[in-house]
Structure 1
Amino acid sequence: MAQSIDKPPFFNGEHYAYWKNRMMFFIKAKDFHLWDIVEDGPFVPTTSPDVYAKVSSCESAKEVWDKVEVIHEGTNDVKETKIGLLNLEYENFKMDPNEDIKSMFDWFSTIVNQLKGFGEEIPEDKLIRKLIYLLPQS
């Protein structure tokens, strides 16, 4: 089912990086200046009940955003560790001999998108070279 352009993306507690990017795009699409409010604004928006207790004392949307980010991504040290592990996974990525190309590409895209979620973007030409290298001779 397609996402409504009038409702923000629902966060169910899983796939935080995916939700984070969708939410950021949703807010910017509504009004690009709303993102400034998220980063610097004086308002604390209501959140889902399971996270509310953790952010209820925050005094700005930026504080809420940062707290939710730490809850789901971890501290800077944790993020750096995750980035390192994802980079290692990217560098060592190989296609399993019993794997079809779609499955390989889906997993490869997941790794690349997780890196992007942490702010680590790999240039497109490097991604293409890596994918071509991964393809079987057949």
Structure 2
Amino acid sequence: MRIYIRSTIFQLWLVIKNGEEIPMKKVGETTVPKTENEFDAEDIKKIENYAKAINILYCAVNPDDYRKISCCTTAKEMWDKLEVTYEGTDQVREAKIDFLTQEYEMFRMKEGEKIDDMFDRFSKIINDLHALKKTYTNKDLVRKILRSLTPEWRSKADAIYESIGVSNVTIDGLRGNLKTYESTILTPSLDEQKKKGI
């Protein structure tokens, strides 16, 4: 949703993130809010952006989320409520990061699993961590995948380590490399072994 809002009108994102500033005026030594009749063109533009920010959030959420934020009076208040709903408090966010980090560390290819299926599971963990602002370098991801492969992939993993190295391959390049190996060498070899009854 952040990207959608930023790409629509970036000023609306700033209103949502930072909150509204009520147009003020100085009366003697104190500052008081301006009345609508006292708004200048800049004030009107700000007020319009506040309303647009609220509207964009209303339009971007599903009916259940709409009910959660409909009682809020500012776009920032709405955003904060949505953030807690989907990302949780800082404590919940840390617990999610801990859980997902453990999933990442324990990640292994399942016996007989296809490369695409393994990468889909791995990508879900990585994307969930990324959403919580925990990221890994490409080198770490490649190394993790190569260490996670089942024994029949060991020779291919060793060949990648020795010939290309983990620093010179992207995670997408690795996926393509492993898929090619799976379809041209590994799968036919396993099928042949099954036919022979080995």
Give the CA deviation at 1:41.
3.7
Could you tell me how far apart the structure 2 residues matched to 1:85 and 1:62 are?
29
Letter in 2 for 1:36: L
- Is 1:40 aligned to residue 54 of structure 2? no
Could you tell me how far apart the structure 2 residues matched to 1:123 and 1:85 are?
19
- Is 1:58 aligned to residue 36 of structure 2? no
- Is 1:85 aligned to residue 99 of structure 2? yes
- Is 1:74 aligned to residue 88 of structure 2? yes
The structure that is strand-richer by fraction is 2
The answer to whether the Cα contact below 8 Å between 1:40 and 1:61 also exists between their aligned partners in 2 is no
Identity of aligned residues (%): 41
Q: Which runs of 5+ in 1 are unaligned?
A: 1-22
Give the CA deviation at 1:110.
0.4
User: RMSD over aligned Cα, in angstroms?
Assistant: 1.8
Partner deviation per Cα, 1:62-100 (whole Å, 9 max, x = no partner):
221110121122222111111100000001100001211
Q: Under a length normalisation based on structure 2, what TM-score does the superposition of the two structures give?
A: 0.53
Which residue in the other structure is 1:26 paired with? 4
The structure that is helix-richer by fraction is 2
Instruction: Give the secondary structure class of the aligned counterpart of 2:10.
Output: coil
Count of residue pairs brought into register by the alignment = 116
Instruction: Give the secondary structure class of the aligned counterpart of 1:106.
Output: helix
Which residue in the other structure is 1:105 paired with? 119
Q: Which runs of 5+ in 2 are unaligned?
A: 21-49, 157-198
The higher-RCO structure (CA 8 Å, 6+ apart) is 1
